[in-house]
Structure 1
Amino acid sequence: MADPARSAPPSAAGTLRSGADTARRATRSEMFRRLARLGHVANGILHVLIGLLAFDLARGGGGDADQSGAAGLLADNPAGLVLLWITVAGCASLSVWHLAAAVWGGDETLDRVKDAGKAVVFAAVASTFAAAGVGAGRDSGEATRSFTATLLEHPAGATLLVAIGLVIVGIGGHHIHKGMTRRFVKDLTSPSREDVSRALTVTGVVGYTAKGIVLALVGALFVLAVVQHDPSQSTGMDGALKTLLAQPFGPWLLGAVGLGLVLYGVYEFLRSRYDRMPG
């Protein structure tokens, strides 16, 4: 006679646990690690392109120096389209990797929150590039202005925007601190070659600092939009870089930050090989 306990169908909770275990094993597999490392390559491509667009702005050019501008640059030629879809795949993979770390990571709540935030950021970048790839791209600065205007129409919107701005400023400050103190080295395995180690250090210090400056400006523009009750002040990364351009010695400042973003991209290329990628 069959054992009723063994013949009974699995419970919904059991099915969910089984599915979660399967997903956890999949995201910790070597194949998925390689896909996640591709995400660092994709992030490198993104920052190199934004840095080059910043250089173009500093030299009097036009266009948007942000994610949508970078995506549009790749979408405009057949060879670039290959890089564009590599970026989509890499950012999507890295988003899932960080999501898995947020769900199944260590016991530190702050680390989980940071991984969840990174998952959202990389998913958004993947979405922006995918939209450009199918001809449905949208201006990132315009999207930021629209988001700001929508929130300002609600009673609690201004408070939320200030909170968002201060959080982004804090993230920018964290990047600057991480670069200047070389804390990013903890994320990496030690290269066997001294020249590679030196390249990681130089590109990491300069790159993290430059990216932190840009993020801090992006956050400050959110706060400025609330103070002046003017959504047009909040224009994302493109607006932050153009704000630099409007300052005394603006082209030089923007050129230096553009170089820093390019070096951050180079750091991400190297990081794809030497990141610890904890399981």
Structure 2
Amino acid sequence: MVVIAFAVAPLLINVGLVITDFIYDKTGTTLTAYGLNNVEWLDFWKQYLAISISFLGVYLVYISSSKDREMQLREKDAQHYLEKVRREEEVLVDVVQSFNIGVVYDALLQQARSNIYEGRKVLADSRVNMDLVHIKFELLTDLCDDFKKCEKCSYSPCVDKTIMLELRDLFYDMEKHYFDMLDACDNFLERLNQEQQILNSLNLDYELKFNTEQLVDFYKRHGSREEVIAAQTELEQIKEKISNLEKSKLELDEMNRFVATIQKEKEYIEKVTRPKFIRYCKVYTDIKKAHARELRTTGYIKYNKVDDQSTKA
């Protein structure tokens, strides 16, 4: 437009001069110099071209510099946004890796080695790790409970928000079931520990029962009536204790219930939430990377309203 204006301006000036000359001939008044001849016009044209070319050069330099600054600003914004996306991506990878189902087997393996302390330590470390992941998830991503920036948005609900809500809800659901699984495993370890203590006590009581029976036989042959009665009373107490311990032993049905609870939570995480969470992580990071490209090319992020197909992962 500027170039066209500079090209057309001399013609407009020439037409204007003709009109003012005509008015002068009729009225005797003019606002411009009268009757520019060809020499004067050529001089004017040469000066005009020189000034125009200089001004046009300055203008083009300004436009070029302005575009360069705008492109640099867009690139800076895009890089800043993309760096944030990379941090979020790292957090999401940590989240996926933290839902480690193998921790259950590690804990049970420690219990099988009669090391209840190590088994509980495995579970406790998993809880601490999950708490740290929870903090990182809410601090280093946009996937926390607070979506105030969307309250007055004309695009809400947009595809971004829908994916973010789904991903956030998946995380909280998976976290809940993971802690439920750890709790069930912890209860099972405690019950197995009690069972081990019962078995150890039973072994001692069986040995004590055998020795007391031998003592009763001995008193019947060589002891007094009072000694026999005392030994028999002690033997009955030992038998009653053994009977009670036998009743409190871990039954197969009870063990199966513990195992079924752990297995249910484990399979829910492995087969339902974790695979879906991974798919939504991919969708989420792809959308964010697309926004970084938009910032680089247009300088703003384009949000799309939700349709029937946009949120399927």
TM class, shorter-length: 0.3 to 0.5
Which structure has the greater CA radius of gyration? 2
Instruction: State the TM-score, normalized to the length of structure 1.
Output: 0.33
Instruction: State the TM-score, normalized to the length of structure 2.
Output: 0.30
